[in-house]
Amino acid sequence: MDKIRIGIVGYGNLGRGVQYAVSQNEDMEVVAVFTRRDPADVATVLPVRVERYEALKEYVGKIDVMILCGGSATDLPMQSSEVVRLFNTVDSFDTHARIPDYFDRLDAAAKETSHLGAMSIGWDPGLFSLARIYFGSALAEGSTYTFWGRGVSQGHSDAIRRVRGVLDARQYTVPVESALERVRNGENPDLTTREKHTRECYVVAEEGADLARIEREIKEMPNYFSDYDTTVHFISQEELEEKHSGIPHGGFVLRSGKSATDKRFLLEFSLKLDSNPEFTSSVLTAYARAVYRLHREGKIGAVTVFDIAPKYLSPLTEAQQRKELL
């Protein structure tokens, strides 16, 4: 069997994760990694050719799907439309508010050269979005809830690091167990931001820093912390590295609703992930298979998880899927 030829654009946590995930799928191989850094400075976790970002166009015809592993803030909005003119793409764009605009631009760019670009792939957006659409469709009358955590929020950890006197920090988003239980009990509660999640901060401060001020500045930080019950723990750099070096995450999507005769139903999907980026990478890789197959069927433009039938994701043949998984 010819393997699906994958390219990786960007080589941080996500790019490394994709390289690992492809190694777990026999029907794929990574042809090259593309970076904006000097390729000589990039040590890959498994052997693979490393190229400059500018060399992308030399790989036209040699790579079936490019997996874009840059960030949503600046990398993906710039790169995705550029790369999709040359290759089919998969990306993990996750800035919810900008999704409609991003979709339109990716769709237009992809159609210029008859490519296919799958966007916002991962677990949220991604598998959690799937849970929301399937649950909402299967149960017309009800309420859907999404909880995140317990897991590390990179954005919130970064925000703490910008506070004066802070050397390092790790922030955990934690779902409120009692709120989860109310949903599971079928109470259909209206939950405020504060009632759904708490924020736990582990902070390494400079020697002699005013800890009370740091704690206050964190807790009062608008958007990031002021709407939440936040706890701040000052710890040593050693303890941070020993106990908080992982990037775990997870969460829950629940839908609670009822039939026209008031029978109650609860649908719940949950994830518990030792490594957020490695799981996102694993999902990106499965969708690269789908993009490859759909493009061969003539599908072009931008797509999301909503547009892709599950059969395209599985390495099994359709007959095997029906026999073994249905």
Q: How far is the CB of 267 from a copy of itself (least distance, A)?
A: 6
Give, as ranges, the residues between 261 and 320 that touch a copy of itself (CB under 8 A). 261, 263-275, 278-279, 281-283, 285-286, 289, 304-311, 313-315, 318-319
Please list, in sequence order, all residues whose beta carbon lies within 8 angstroms of the beta carbon of residue 46, skipping any fewer than 6 positions away.
19, 20, 23, 30
Helix or strand (DSSP H, E) at 213: helix 211-219
Q: What is the CA radius of gyration of the chain?
A: 22
Q: DSSP characters for 58-94?
A: GGTTT-SEEEE-S-TTTHHHHHHHHHTTTSEEEE---
Select 55 or 99, whichever has its Cβ closest to a copy of itself: 99
Cβ closer to a copy of itself: 83 or 130?
Answer: 130
Three-class secondary structure of residue 43 per DSSP:
coil
Q: How many residues bind a copy of itself (CB under 8 A)?
A: 67
**Partners of 29 in the β-ladder:** 5
Q: How far apart are alpha carbons 90 and 68 in whole angstroms?
A: 6
Instruction: Provide the 8-state DSSP code for 206.
Output: P
User: Which of 1, 2, 24, 74 lies at the binding interface for a copy of itself (CB under 8 A)?
Assistant: 24
Q: What does the DSSP 8-state code read for residue 274?
A: S
Question: Please, which residues bridge with residue 152 across strands?
Answer: 172
How close are the terminal C-alpha atoms of the chain, in Å?
A: 25
Which residue stretch of 61-69, 136-144, 173-181, 187-195 sits at the interface with a copy of itself (rule: CB under 8 A)? 136-144
Q: How far is the CB of 53 from a copy of itself (least distance, A)?
A: 25
**Per-residue contact flags (x/-) with a copy of itself for residues 41 to 70, judged by CB under 8 A:** ------------------------------
Identify which of residues 155 and 315 has a Cβ nearer to a copy of itself in the complex. 315
- Least distance to a copy of itself from the beta carbon of 240, Å? 20
Site for a copy of itself in 68-107 (CB under 8 A): 96, 99-100, 103
The answer to whether 130 contacts a copy of itself (rule: CB under 8 A) is yes
Closest distance to a copy of itself from the beta carbon of 140 (Å) = 4
Residue 235 CA to residue 237 CA, distance in Å, equals: 7
Cis peptide before 150 (omega within 30 of 0): yes
Residues near a copy of itself (CB under 8 A) are: 17, 20-21, 23-25, 96, 99-100, 103, 120, 125, 127, 129-134, 136-141, 259-261, 263-275, 278-279, 281-283, 285-286, 289, 304-311, 313-315, 318-319, 321-323, 325-326
